Structure 1
């Protein structure tokens, strides 16, 4: 995938290196030349520019980008403006770093549904989410087994857990299901949250937008994580 990362601080740089190591074409952007020079030989491209200046984006392949990550960590205003410009100029999937609860609210109001808190989420973990398109989150038990949140494949929608028979067909165990629930926050902005439905039974029907929490071998989770 072609990925542009805006902000080459500790988090942005770690993510750029991790994504490059897993085979992605990564462009790193920062307004400080020393950071650009530090990583220029380690990723596909690195560019020094002011991401709050819309005209500067003419130097970037923003319209051909699959994912844009706003990893700016020092200036909340710059991060918000950068996110807004990317949304205006590109159809890329936007992943934005949040620096505060109010930043969360602003990003949600802008329609950003992939918000990152680096102090809670390592760059390696985010790399796994990006590379495996249907994996929402992942907790490694050991070198062989993990518990993962997986977006349900389209083929599962409308079927019951018994009909899918994940244990037999995919060698995975379903722990629970997360389902979307609309809520309105204190300033009247409607947001979507994922809530646990409890312990599923064989008669539990899969709905569009559901996320399955499964346990199993890492390679089996990866196989399902790359299903359409």
Structure 2
């Protein structure tokens, strides 16, 4: 079990707090809004009303013993900077920050945070990727030009094994998993000698350009099926 501190209890911060607590971790949630604190109370180890920019306040609730922290202070960029610095002053080395712009992300990276999260942009990219390519089932952005995508199996790949297809050599992407949709079972890592079926989807990791080449095949397969 790890201890996490969540500073800021908007939709994002509250969701992270509740999910971490659901995974059995010790979660301390902080916000200046009493209503938000009351709402998250049943879904975390401890909820406190306070200013997450204040190191003394964070120390009082046990933040210095946290393994990691998540800063989600809405549109208040200054608050996120100050809260991050306060956490770092207490020795919390791993800090994740919700950002609202590229400039905000750049500032936070200069402060040495572990990761910046831009939920609105990432959700938009995810949606655009899914609706623009019929073969794309899910899309998760991993970096500026890296992603993990779930695609339907291209028709020409069906009946073949991953070893036969040698997808990495042919397309420069890695098949990190297979989702057997009929049984709703995820196989990670995949068996290279299992035959691919039309009910399978592939979990691919690689550059957007490389995966797009496979997505084109998957898209053509989806269109032919209509």
Report what 1:101 is aligned to.
102
| Structure 1 unmatched runs, 5+ | 123-128, 130-135, 146-166, 177-197, 201-211, 223-228
- Alignment RMSD (CA, Å): 3.2
Report what 1:149 is aligned to.
none
Offset at 1:91? 3.4
Decide whether the 8 Å contact of 1:27 with 1:43 is kept in 2: yes
More helix per residue = 2
Offset at 1:36? 0.3
Offset at 1:219? 4.5
**Secondary structure in 2 aligned to 1:40?**
helix
Q: Which has the higher contact order (CA 8 A, sep 6+)?
A: 1
Offset at 1:42? 1.7
Deviations 1:96-152 (A, max 9, x none): 111122111111111124110121447xxxxxx9xxxxxx9754558xx9xxxxxxx
Report what 1:193 is aligned to.
none
Deviations 1:159-203 (A, max 9, x none): xxxxxxxx78xxxx8749xxxxxxxxxxxxxxxxxxxxx955xxx
Report what 1:32 is aligned to.
33
Report what 1:91 is aligned to.
92
Between Structure 1 and Structure 2, how many residues are aligned?
152
Report what 1:164 is aligned to.
none
Decide whether the 8 Å contact of 1:2 with 1:65 is kept in 2: yes
Alignment of 1:181-192 (within 5 A): none
Summarize the Cα distance change of 1:33–1:138 in structure 2 as closer, same or farther, 3 Å threshold.
farther
Matched residues in 2 for 1:28 and 1:59: separation?
13
Offset at 1:24? 2.0
Deviations 1:8-35 (A, max 9, x none): 0011111111222222221111111111
Residue 88 of structure 2 corresponds to residue 70 of structure 1 = no
Matched residues in 2 for 1:16 and 1:174: separation?
38
Residue 23 of structure 2 corresponds to residue 12 of structure 1 = no
Matched residues in 2 for 1:15 and 1:117: separation?
14
Decide whether the 8 Å contact of 1:63 with 1:92 is kept in 2: no
> Which TM-score applies when normalising by structure 1?
0.57
Report what 2:80 is aligned to.
79
Report what 1:114 is aligned to.
115
Deviates more, 1:58-67 or 1:103-112: 58-67
